[in-house]
Chains A and B, each alone.
Chain A
Amino acid sequence: DSGVTQTPKHLITATGQRVTLRCSPRSGDLSVYWYQQSLDQGLQFLIQYYNGEERAKGNILERFSAQQFPDLHSELNLSSLELGDSALYFCASSVVGDSTYEQYFGPGTRLTVT
């Protein structure tokens, strides 16, 4: 158990809909990262938040957005869903300044768009 929790575990929804994925980082971790794992693109970095502020952006679509709240949990919002958005979405957290650059991953949310 990494200490990072994600809800829900599974999500099935229809095209055009909007969903919210939730992540709670390990206690004390200020940085949260979101990654998408799909069959064709592999594991890709989407976005990073640090202590409530956006820190880095990767290959995140404009239809997707995220935020980190004062209690440090984070939400990833996916809207106008398409079939191609079906994937496993991981959240990870890290201690800022950790010399080993290690990130701790949650169990993921599997999104299926039908």
Chain B
Amino acid sequence: GNSVTQMEGPVTLSEEAFLTINCTYTATGYPSLFWYVQYPGEGLQLLLKATKADDKGSNKGFEATYRKETTSFHLEKGSVQVSDSAVYFCALSRNRDDKIIFGKGTRLHILP
């Protein structure tokens, strides 16, 4: 079936460090891929998305590239801030109006 696997956390980094959170997926066809972020005590916010192979999604300094050959959508940021501390979810959706399938989430903790 369709699934998303992401690296387990927690991930602890110092401010200004480089961030990578790995995500791979299994899906039939050509799903859309997402990264959602959940800040402490809040709901889910869409961070970025990519809808076809080789697309790069970007937002707030975060980037992820849809790699069909490796079925991956790794999240990267060049210089993290304390305010980036949150839980990050990689996710996919196969079709319009279809449910979103989430990975288990990766908790990120940034030290000042």
Whether B99 and A56, one on each chain, are in contact in the complex, defined by CB atoms closer than 8 angstroms, is yes
Q: How many A-B residue pairs have CB under 8 A?
A: 61
Whether B49 and A2, one on each chain, are in contact in the complex, defined by CB atoms closer than 8 angstroms, is no
A102 touching B49 in the complex, CB below 8 Å, given contacts A94-B97, A107-B42: yes
Shortest CB-to-CB span from A105 to chain B, Å, is: 4
The interface centre, meaning the residue of B45, B99, B100 with most chain A CB atoms within 10 A of its CB, is: B99
Whether A101 and B101, one on each chain, are in contact in the complex, defined by CB atoms closer than 8 angstroms, is no
- Encoded as 1 (CB less than 8 Å from any A CB) or 0, chain B from 92 to 112 comes to 010111111111110000000
Whether B42 and A99, one on each chain, are in contact in the complex, defined by CB atoms closer than 8 angstroms, is no
Contact of A42 with B by CB under 8 A: yes
Find the B residue at minimum CB distance from A108: B43
Q: How large is the interface on A (under 10, 10 to 19, 20 to 34, 35 or more residues)?
A: 20 to 34
* C-alpha gap A77/B22 in the complex (Å): 36
Instruction: Tell me the count of chain B residues lying within 8 A, CB to CB, of chain A.
Output: 23
* C-alpha gap A22/B102 in the complex (Å): 23
Contact of B89 with A by CB under 8 A: yes
Whether A96 and B49, one on each chain, are in contact in the complex, defined by CB atoms closer than 8 angstroms, is no
Contact of B51 with A by CB under 8 A: yes
Cβ 8 A contact of A99, one of B44, B51, B100: B51
* C-alpha gap A53/B39 in the complex (Å): 32
Whether A96 and B97, one on each chain, are in contact in the complex, defined by CB atoms closer than 8 angstroms, is yes
Whether B44 and A105, one on each chain, are in contact in the complex, defined by CB atoms closer than 8 angstroms, is yes
Residues of B within 8 A of A58 (CB): 99
Residues of B40-78 contacting chain A, CB below 8 A? 42-46, 49, 51
14 contacts between A and B (CB under 8 A): A31-B97, A42-B105, A43-B89, A45-B100, A45-B101, A48-B97, A92-B44, A94-B97, A98-B96, A101-B95, A102-B46, A103-B93, A105-B36, A105-B45
Q: Which residues of A contact B (CB under 8 A)?
A: 2, 31, 33, 35, 42-45, 48, 50, 55-56, 58, 90, 92, 94, 96-108
